[in-house]
Structure 1
Amino acid sequence: MDCSPAFVETLAGLLPPGTLRAPEPRDLEEPRGRWTGQAGAVALPRSTDEVAAIVRACAAARVGIVPLGGGTGLVGGQVMPEGPLPLVVSLERMVACRGVWPEENVLVVEAGMVLAEVQAQSERVGRLFPLSLASEGSARIGGCLSTNAGGTGVLRYGNARDLCLGIEAVLPDGSVLHGLKRLRKDNTGYDLRHLLIGAEGTLGILTAASLKMVAPPSGVAVAMLVVESPAVALDLLALAQGRFAGLVSAFELIAGQGLRFLTETMPEVRQPFAVAPDWSVLVELGLPAGLDPEGAMASLLDEAMEAGLVSDGVVAASGAQAQALWQVRESIPLANRKIGAVSSHDVSLPLSEVAGFIAEADRELAAFGDLRVNCFGHLGDGNLHYNAFPAVGRGREEYDGKAVQRLVHDLVHARGGSVSAEHGVGRLKVGDLTRYGDPARLAAMRAIKTALDPLGIMNPGAVLG
């Protein structure tokens, strides 16, 4: 059923004044402009009780609900472009910090809090919330958990789900799951926390979360090092992890094409090398007291050069220099958007398959002509952004982007990888999930969806279609 004016009027009578408003463009957009959503209205609840009242009303009227966090998702999970008009439920007013326990390394926040503010709340008590994304200034923690976001710190700290101890959520019938425990151990049956994390709003609406904090490192060392190939980069990763066990916070692979895109579209970004190397890695170490950051990284560089793994490198001598190196890495996706991809891929592979996949994909894509490939990403956890772009002077519409994507995804699947590493399924990859997903797993997912959301009102069309 549509979210009709009559339904909106009925719903308004159940909620405080000002909770509902007409949709605005920002409610219906996704960052890459692939879809424009639709909605009969937007609800902006201030409390979990109000979310529950909204869901109960939608269930009674069989009106679909599209949960909205910061709107930064890249697979269309936050927009519904077709079908009956849904109600968009934005969590932007639910931004409270419900409690901080530094002695437990735990804080509890509402789902609408922006990730950067979660980090700031942790810093105020001398702790670190280590989930870090390029969109952390606008992404909301509820959306990060709903998509099980990754980012640059997964190698050391894990994905979003690994940083969550408990959740509060409104289920599709309007009941409230009170799961905000601060426990590290709780073996009392099915872990519904992990069921809802990564479900992309298809099983309920996350309203609050208990999150893990960690003690921040005493020192941080950052360097950009030139390597001959992805295979050598993996050897360097093994060396770094052996030398600094558990202290490698990030290990980012950067192709020369990405640096050349920066030169072409964002020349204001200062790069560490006069000529872009074919391959480099950005390494970050988070070190305990007693280790000099610059000296520790310099020793790793010396050892790597002696082993023939690194031919050149720049070690940050200050926080500003470290930030400048990170700016290079974080600007690459922006440069990509300015170029305009034929096909973008967020994939993950077993580490031993990474180098072989890149070489094979490069060879196979030659059949599509003069594509430019920019491969970069979180090499430490096997997550690559392997993206294809048109040649200079050609438009992306001149290439068969769907065929490129199918080829890349087939190669990833054949090597035991995943075609969705950290952005989720949303609506973009529903067909991929059907094509590559294990039949038994898909059947179990559908059974869970039917059991919890028999009316199919939670984010219709996302994940399972």
Structure 2
Amino acid sequence: MTASLASIDPFLEDALALLGPRGLTCDPELVSPWLTDWRGRFTGKARALASPANVEELSQLVRLCGQHGVPIVPQGGNSGMSGGATPDQTGEALLLSLRRMNHIREIDAEAGRVTCEAGVVLQTLHEAAEAQDLRFPLTLGGKGSATVGGLISTNAGGSQVLRHGSMRALVLGLEAVLADGQVFSALTPLKKDNRGFDLKQLLIGSEGTLGIVTAATLRLLPAVAERVVIWAGVSSLPAARTLLLHCEAMEGETLEGFEVMPQASIDAVKDHMPAARAPLEGRHAWHVLIEVVADRAGAATLRERCEAMMADAFEKDLLEDAAMSASEAQADAFWLIRETVPAAERARGPAVQHDISVPVEKMPAFVEITAPMLEAEFPGTEAIAFGHLGDGNVHYHVIAPQVTDGKAWNANEGKAISRRVHDLVTQWGGSISAEHGIGQLKRDELVRLGDPAALYMLRAVKQALDPQGLLNPGKLI
């Protein structure tokens, strides 16, 4: 099929000659699964699906696209949340998969770093690091499909940002193909390098609009020798914030995760997953999941320190009840409840989801003030917030009342709710995208609410590095 189409499309003819039948296909059965984002919100069309085997092939392919004026939509695991890897409806774009570029080039255990290609799946990276008694300190629910290139392009976060930062903080070096086909190669990490702009940081979080990430050198840490996961019940979100400060003061950098969930989310998980067992017997306005870890040096005393931390919290009346994991299986069971919250919320029916952040110290007040405000402005809705309180990022869902047409509700009232949420976030000095990127989902909202100077700079950089506008058009800016 590709060969026959190539005979009437000069670009496809040249691309097929470059990549071969394994690297280029127009077969609908092979292409169509990648034309819709995993949330089912966006579906597009593509000229073909290209899967180069290495950076040299990709460099030549990008040059070829420039010569023919063919837009490129890069795609990793297609697990993004904002439609950033889905082509538009014109069918002009080339869908670019980097999943064949999946080699781990080197692990330097002594230096604590790994160099791997963009198509490496996060779970595979975790396993490779663990085999060297190391770990890559970023994880998320989609680790079985998310790729290194996608994580870098969207500056992904996850549950360990509190201690280790987002992807931006974990990238030591980068390799990418630019819009003209040049290969930007800066994989060798330097502690000090003062040769102008930090160009790798320009590419991180750019969602494939400035260059196509092909490989990266990433930071690794010693493997966790011991971890304790604590489930606590508190009376309010401000109380959860006070508990966070207490845990930070007592355990510092060993505190790796601090997640919050309202009772409504726990109820939704139990309805969605009847076999799930709530860690606490009673009901609490808010539930907190705390993870504390130690390497070999601190493993022997970790549990004792955690017990002291929680005993002190009880004495200071910072929580209502708590349970501490007694095994790895129980720790995983605690986390499974947290990780099931998004699916449980979706099962309740139509909703609009928002990935937002405000300054960490303001998040409790933001939720407590704006949730009832939204419920009053949009009768019958329920505003639910859950997520990473420690870094000021919550997933802010507004659940629809019982409706017969969920798509129509999302297109009308749901859209109005999202605008209102984004207005409120902006008023509070926050961001309309904390960790999921802008993509095409929030592009217009970024234009509407973004700082004019910042938007000018974004557009100027885009124009300078991609003057033809061929890299992931219609996304971000």
TM range (shorter): over 0.9
Matched, 1:361 2:370: yes
Identify the match of residue 227 of structure 1 among 215, 220, 234: 234
Residue of structure 2 in register with 1:105 after alignment: 112
Is the CA contact 1:65–1:457 (under 8 Å) kept in the aligned structure 2? yes
C-alpha distance in structure 1 between counterparts of 2:211 and 2:168, whole Å: 16
- Is the partner of 1:135 in helix, strand or coil? coil
Residue of structure 2 in register with 1:451 after alignment: 464
Residue of structure 2 in register with 1:90 after alignment: 97
Cα 1:75–1:51 change in 2 (3 A) is same
1:307 is matched by which residue type in structure 2? K
What is the CA distance between 1:126 and its match in structure 2? 1.1
* TM-score normalized by the length of structure 1: 0.96
Is the CA contact 1:203–1:449 (under 8 Å) kept in the aligned structure 2? yes
What is the CA distance between 1:16 and its match in structure 2? 3.4
**Greater helix percent: which structure?**
2
Is the CA contact 2:361–2:392 (under 8 Å) kept in the aligned structure 1? no
- Is the partner of 2:419 in helix, strand or coil? helix
Cα 1:454–1:84 change in 2 (3 A) is farther
Aligned length: 463
Residue of structure 2 in register with 1:381 after alignment: 391
* Matched ranges for 1:97-136 at <5 A: 97-136=104-143
Cα 1:368–1:167 change in 2 (3 A) is same
Matched, 1:50 2:57: yes
Matched, 1:334 2:343: yes
Worse overlay, 402-411 or 59-68: 402-411
Residue of structure 2 in register with 1:14 after alignment: 18
Q: Percent identity?
A: 40
What is the CA distance between 1:136 and its match in structure 2? 0.5
Is the CA contact 2:82–2:436 (under 8 Å) kept in the aligned structure 1? yes
Identify the match of residue 271 of structure 2 among 252, 257, 264: 264
1:306 is matched by which residue type in structure 2? E
Structure 2: give runs of 5+ residues left out of the alignment. none
Matched, 1:413 2:426: yes
Cα 1:394–1:307 change in 2 (3 A) is farther
* Matched ranges for 1:135-154 at <5 A: 135-154=142-161
Is the CA contact 2:270–2:277 (under 8 Å) kept in the aligned structure 1? no
2:389 is matched by which residue type in structure 1? L
Is the CA contact 1:167–1:178 (under 8 Å) kept in the aligned structure 2? yes
What is the CA distance between 1:53 and its match in structure 2? 1.0
Is the CA contact 1:341–1:387 (under 8 Å) kept in the aligned structure 2? no
Is the CA contact 1:221–1:284 (under 8 Å) kept in the aligned structure 2? yes
Cα 1:12–1:398 change in 2 (3 A) is closer
Matched, 1:312 2:321: yes
C-alpha distance in structure 2 between counterparts of 1:308 and 1:370, whole Å: 35
- Is the partner of 1:188 in helix, strand or coil? coil
What is the CA distance between 1:216 and its match in structure 2? 2.5
- Is the partner of 2:222 in helix, strand or coil? coil
Is the CA contact 1:227–1:309 (under 8 Å) kept in the aligned structure 2? yes
CA displacement 1:86-106 (0-9 Å, x = unmatched): 001100100111111111111
Is the CA contact 2:101–2:117 (under 8 Å) kept in the aligned structure 1? yes
Worse overlay, 355-364 or 394-403: 394-403
1:360 is matched by which residue type in structure 2? I
C-alpha distance in structure 1 between counterparts of 2:153 and 2:243, whole Å: 34
C-alpha distance in structure 2 between counterparts of 1:384 and 1:110, whole Å: 31
Is the CA contact 2:280–2:321 (under 8 Å) kept in the aligned structure 1? no
Is the CA contact 2:371–2:384 (under 8 Å) kept in the aligned structure 1? no
C-alpha distance in structure 1 between counterparts of 2:420 and 2:317, whole Å: 34
Cα 1:5–1:327 change in 2 (3 A) is same
CA displacement 1:344-367 (0-9 Å, x = unmatched): 100001122111111221121122
Is the CA contact 1:93–1:112 (under 8 Å) kept in the aligned structure 2? yes
2:345 is matched by which residue type in structure 1? N
Residue of structure 2 in register with 1:278 after alignment: 285
C-alpha distance in structure 1 between counterparts of 2:380 and 2:308, whole Å: 41
Matched, 1:346 2:355: yes
RMSD: 1.7
C-alpha distance in structure 2 between counterparts of 1:395 and 1:60, whole Å: 46
1:10 is matched by which residue type in structure 2? D
Residue of structure 1 in register with 2:194 after alignment: 187
CA displacement 1:406-455 (0-9 Å, x = unmatched): 11111111111101000000000011111221111111110110011000
Residue of structure 2 in register with 1:370 after alignment: 380
Is the CA contact 2:403–2:409 (under 8 Å) kept in the aligned structure 1? no
- Is the partner of 1:13 in helix, strand or coil? helix
Matched, 1:204 2:211: yes
Residue of structure 2 in register with 1:436 after alignment: 449
What is the CA distance between 1:282 and its match in structure 2? 0.3
CA displacement 1:16-45 (0-9 Å, x = unmatched): 342101252221121211111210100011
Residue of structure 2 in register with 1:60 after alignment: 67
Residue of structure 2 in register with 1:463 after alignment: 476
- Is the partner of 2:322 in helix, strand or coil? strand
Runs of 4+ aligned residues of structure 1 deviating over 6 Å after TM superposition are none
- Is the partner of 1:240 in helix, strand or coil? helix
Is the CA contact 1:200–1:426 (under 8 Å) kept in the aligned structure 2? yes
C-alpha distance in structure 2 between counterparts of 1:51 and 1:179, whole Å: 17
C-alpha distance in structure 1 between counterparts of 2:140 and 2:265, whole Å: 19
C-alpha distance in structure 2 between counterparts of 1:383 and 1:62, whole Å: 39
2:438 is matched by which residue type in structure 1? V
What is the CA distance between 1:82 and its match in structure 2? 2.5
Is the CA contact 2:439–2:476 (under 8 Å) kept in the aligned structure 1? yes
What is the CA distance between 1:79 and its match in structure 2? 0.3
Is the CA contact 2:171–2:218 (under 8 Å) kept in the aligned structure 1? yes
Residue of structure 1 in register with 2:308 after alignment: 299
C-alpha distance in structure 2 between counterparts of 1:32 and 1:454, whole Å: 31
1:335 is matched by which residue type in structure 2? A
